[in-house]
Amino acid sequence: MFYCDTSALMKLYAQESSSTDMTRLCTDSSEIVVATITWVEMRSAFALRVRTHQTTQAQTQSALEKLSLEWEKYQKIALDTSLFETAGHFTQDLSLRAYDSVQLACAQRFNIALGGQMTFCCFDKQLNSAAKVLGMKVLDI
Reference 41, options 96, 98, 85; nearest CA is 98
Residue 118 CA to residue 112 CA, distance in Å, equals 9
Query: Whole-structure pTM over 0.85, yes or no?
Result: yes
Tens of pLDDT, residue by residue over 9-18, are 999 999 999 9
Residues 6+ apart with CB under 8 A from 9: 34, 38, 42
Tens of pLDDT, residue by residue over 50-106, are 999 999 999 999 999 999 999 999 999 999 999 999 999 999 999 999 999 999 999
Instruction: Decide if 13 contacts 67 (C-beta within 8 A).
Output: yes
User: 138: part of which helix (H) or strand (E)?
Assistant: strand 137-138
